[in-house]
Structure 1
Amino acid sequence: MAELYIVRHAQVNIDFSVPSAGWHISEDGIRATRELVLSENWSGVILAPKSTQTEGMG
């Protein structure tokens, strides 16, 4: 049976002086992403284009 994983964007550092597209992932967001990556077998998972900053964090 196929599985569907829905993962929301990692926590960011909000900076209202720049557009939201320029916000970077916070230290907490990086930590949580690493924990998630290490907790599952993600082989074969396709990353959405906006998630490239978190790609390869495992």
Structure 2
Amino acid sequence: MKTLYLIRHCKAKGQEPDADLTLEGELQAEALSNFLIDKPIDLIISSPFLRAIHSIKPF
């Protein structure tokens, strides 16, 4: 059986496509990476928005 994780982006400086993560958001991204590190991840699909990409980038 497959497991699907739906994850909202980490805290960002705004909602514009190029809005980056806040310092809190960067810490959330690191925590997300730590959560996912031992999961059998086959595929990641992300929005092209910067905040979404930077949310998964540490992983």
Larger RCO, structure (CA 8 Å, separation 6 or more): 2
Gaps of 5+ in 2: none
| Aligned-residue CA RMSD (Å) | 2.1
Give the number of the structure whose alpha-carbon radius of gyration is greater.
1
Identical pairs, percent: 15
TM-score by structure 1 length?
Answer: 0.67
Higher strand share: 1
Aligned pairs, how many? Answer: 54
Counterpart secondary structure, 1:4: coil
Normalising to structure 2: TM-score of the pair?
Answer: 0.66
